[in-house]
Amino acid sequence: MPRAVAINVAANTNLPGRRGPVFPDGSFVYVPIPERESAAEGVPTYADLDLTTFVPDAAAGLPVHLDPEFAGVYGSESYTYGDPHGVKARPLSALDPGDSLLFYATLTVADDGDRAASGPAGDRVEWLPPEWGCFLVGEFRVGEVLTGDEFREADPTTRERFASNAHVRRESFDAAVLVRGDSDGSRLFDRAVPLSTPAGGTDANHLVTDLSADSGKGPWWRRVLRYDADATATLRERIDADPADWLV
Domain assignments of the chain as residue spans, ordered by start: 4-240
How far is Cα 44 from Cα 34, in angstroms, rounded to an integer?
10
201-217 average pLDDT score: 96
Position 161 pLDDT exceeds 70: yes
38-49 average pLDDT score: 88
Look at residues 188, 190, 197, 191 and name the one whose alpha carbon lies nearest to residue 133: 197
Q: How confident is the model at residue 240 (pLDDT cuts 50, 70, 90)?
A: confident
Look at residues 26, 35, 40 and name the one whose alpha carbon lies nearest to residue 135: 26
Q: Is the dihedral of CA 219, 223, 227, 228 positive or negative?
A: negative
Position 82 pLDDT exceeds 90: yes
The enclosing H or E element of 87 equals: helix 86-93
Q: How confident is the model at residue 217 (pLDDT cuts 50, 70, 90)?
A: very high
> How high is the pLDDT of residue 116?
47
The answer to which of 77-81, 121-125, 196-200 has the lowest mean pLDDT is 121-125
Query: What CA–CA distances, in Å, run from 185 to 179, 219, 240?
Result: 14, 29, 12
